[in-house]
Structure formats: C-alpha cells, structure tokens
C-alpha cells in the first residue's frame, strides 16, 4: 500500500524489527512519564502496548518478515487506537545501537527501547487457542476469523482476542510470567476489559508436548479453565 496515514507511519516507525536470528527478538520496554510501552517480538509476530499503572491505553500488532536492505515488511492485524489500519502493510527501517532498539518518527524524534528478555524459553513464540473444556470434555475451537492468540517472549506475555480478517478487537491482557516445574504463573500488568484485575497473580498447571500447550487452572474471575493452545506461525 503506497499511502498510509501519518499516524500509521508513526506506529510502523516505532517497531524497528530485525531478522529472527538477530537479538531484536524478545521483549523491550520504554517509559515516558507515567506511560509504560512494551514491545514483544517473536520470529513471526509483534505487539506494542501502552499502559499506565492501572489503565490500559492502546495496543497494536501483527506479523513481520525480513524485507532485505535493512527493512522489515510489517502487516497490521489489530490497532485499538485506529482499527481501520488493520490489514495495511508497509516496509519499516531497522535501527539498533549499543544493545538498545532505537526507533524514529518521520519528524526525527527518537525513542529508546531497553531489552527485557531475549525471547527464548519453552513457551516463547505464537500460540492460538484450539480446544477448551466444557461440560467435562475438551471441545475443539473451530478455525475461523475470530480467534484468541498469545504472543510470548522469555518472560512476558500478551493475549489478544480479535477478528483476524477485519481487525475487530475484543480484548487483550498481558504482563510477566514464569514457567517452572509444570507451573505457569502470570502477573497481570494491563487488561483492556477490567483494570481492577491489574496486579493479580494467577497460577496454572502447564505442559508442553510438541506444538501443544495444555493449560489448566482458575481464571482471573475464579472460574475453572482447561485449554489447549497450539503454536501458530500465521
């Protein structure tokens, strides 16, 4: 697409994604006043979320791939601040200096991202929910445009529920996690549907078998859940 809005250009300029084997893959953080910005990069997906201590502000993300000549080709799948940009693509420049990710707007102002983790771990990558237990049995979730997926780095997570065809956004939450000895524990740092859940810590049983992640425990509402998540390279 040749013409993008100025806002979309600013968003794309802030991604600065490098090739999968490059150390840009992982989690990055930038702080400006009270606003925390988190950038998650896996070999196929990325997301950027802005939030305050108890307030979700905005999030956007999608897929990327190396375009050569120091650029990456990015496709936006969702954007809470500007939903009409879903489906738009562009090539974006790459810049890293002294181990930090440096992003620039068309006006020349720069933003520094500090590394949080290197994007490695048993759960690092992209996951899509494929089965959920109801009435005592696991039921496959039909493949369709409305999906819930997770972007996971080595220590941070974000789930997003949206329509992959239209970009319609249904909700998102994220924060930090650990996965040790069959226990997955997450701490919620932002939640678009209910800010009162920020700060909650949730623990689940978890096992990874090939490309499937078995996930069970109690939701943030206290409801029992049992889900299967599968790796997704879309």
One domain, residues 179 and 147: yes
pLDDT band at residue 100 using 50, 70 and 90 as cut-offs = confident
Q: Is residue 185 part of a domain?
A: yes
One domain, residues 99 and 197: no
At residue 6, the 3 state secondary structure works out as: helix
Residue closest to 178 by CA, chosen among 209, 201, 208, 198: 201
Q: Is residue 153 part of a domain?
A: yes
Residue ending a domain, choose from 69, 87, 116: 116
Residue ending a domain, choose from 95, 116, 137: 116
What would the two tokens of residue 97 be?
């200096």
Does the pLDDT of residue 61 top 70, yes or no?
yes
User: What is the rounded distance in angstroms from the CA atom of residue 29 to the CA atom of residue 54?
Assistant: 17
Q: Residue 70's pLDDT is what? A: 65
One domain, residues 63 and 107: yes
Does the pLDDT of residue 20 top 70, yes or no?
no
**Which tens digit of pLDDT belongs to each residue from 151-169?**
999 999 999 999 988 889 9
CATH code at position 133: 2.40.128.280
At residue 71, the 3 state secondary structure works out as: strand
pLDDT band at residue 71 using 50, 70 and 90 as cut-offs = confident
pLDDT band at residue 64 using 50, 70 and 90 as cut-offs = confident
**Mean pLDDT on 25-33:** 94
What domain range is 158 assigned to? Answer: 125-231
Across the strands, what pairs with 31? 36
Q: Is residue 68 part of a domain?
A: yes
Does the pLDDT of residue 4 top 60, yes or no?
no
Q: Which residues make Cβ contacts (< 8 Å) with residue 90, sequence separation at least 6?
A: 1, 4, 8, 9, 12, 73, 74
**Mean pLDDT on 32-43:** 94
One domain, residues 109 and 19: yes
What's the longest Cα–Cα distance across the chain? 57
Q: Residue 57's pLDDT is what? A: 97
What would the two tokens of residue 147 be?
């999906």
Q: Residue 68's pLDDT is what? A: 75
Does the pLDDT of residue 9 top 50, yes or no?
no
Of the listed ranges 16-30, 34-48, 188-202, the least confidently predicted one is 16-30
> In this structure, how many other beta carbons lie within 10 angstroms of the beta carbon of residue 154?
18
Does the pLDDT of residue 6 top 60, yes or no?
no
Q: Is residue 224 part of a domain?
A: yes
pLDDT band at residue 138 using 50, 70 and 90 as cut-offs = very high
CATH code at position 47: 2.40.128.490
Q: Is residue 1 part of a domain?
A: no
User: What is the rounded distance in angstroms from the CA atom of residue 153 to the CA atom of residue 156?
Assistant: 5
Q: Residue 16's pLDDT is what? A: 43
Tally of structural domains, the chain: 2
Residue ending a domain, choose from 116, 137, 167: 116
Does the pLDDT of residue 200 top 80, yes or no?
yes
Q: Is residue 24 part of a domain?
A: yes
Positions of E strands within the chain: 26-32, 35-41, 45-52, 55-68, 71-79, 89-93, 96-97, 100-104, 110-117, 125-134, 137-140, 146-152, 156-163, 169-180, 183-191, 201-209, 212-218, 224-231
User: What is the rounded distance in angstroms from the CA atom of residue 202 to the CA atom of residue 103?
Assistant: 34
One domain, residues 78 and 129: no
One domain, residues 136 and 81: no
Q: Is residue 44 part of a domain?
A: yes
User: What is the rounded distance in angstroms from the CA atom of residue 196 to the CA atom of residue 83?
Assistant: 25
One domain, residues 153 and 110: no
Of the listed ranges 3-7, 131-135, 193-197, the least confidently predicted one is 3-7
User: What is the rounded distance in angstroms from the CA atom of residue 198 to the CA atom of residue 188?
Assistant: 5
Does the pLDDT of residue 97 top 90, yes or no?
no
One domain, residues 77 and 175: no
Mean residue pLDDT of the chain comes to 86
């Amino acid at each position: 697409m040749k013409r993008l809005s100025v806002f979309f250009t600013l968003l794309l300029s802030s991604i600065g994604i490098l090739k999968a084997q490059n150390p840009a893959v992982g989690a990055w953080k930038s702080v400006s006043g009270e606003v925390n910005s988190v950038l998650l990069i896996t070999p196929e997906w990325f997301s950027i979320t802005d939030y305050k201590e108890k307030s979700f502000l905005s999030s956007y993300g999608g897929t990327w791939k190396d375009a050569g000549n120091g650029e990456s080709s990015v496709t936006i799948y969702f954007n809470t601040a500007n939903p009409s940009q879903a489906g738009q693509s562009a090539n974006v420049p790459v810049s890293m200096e002294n181990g930090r990710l440096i992003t620039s707007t068309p006006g020349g102002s720069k933003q520094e991202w500090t590394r949080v983790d290197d994007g490695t771990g048993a759960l690092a990558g992209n996951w899509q929910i494929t089965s959920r237990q109801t009435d005592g049995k696991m039921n496959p979730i039909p493949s369709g445009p409305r999906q819930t997926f997770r972007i996971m780095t080595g220590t941070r997570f974000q789930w997003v529920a949206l329509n992959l065809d239209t970009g319609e956004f249904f909700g998102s939450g994220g924060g930090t996690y650990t996965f040790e000895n069959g226990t997955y524990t997450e701490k919620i740092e932002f939640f678009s549907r209910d800010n009162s859940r920020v700060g909650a810590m949730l623990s689940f049983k978890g096992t990874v078998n090939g490309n499937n992640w078995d996930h069970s425990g109690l939701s943030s509402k206290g409801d029992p859940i049992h889900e299967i998540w599968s790796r997704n390279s879309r």
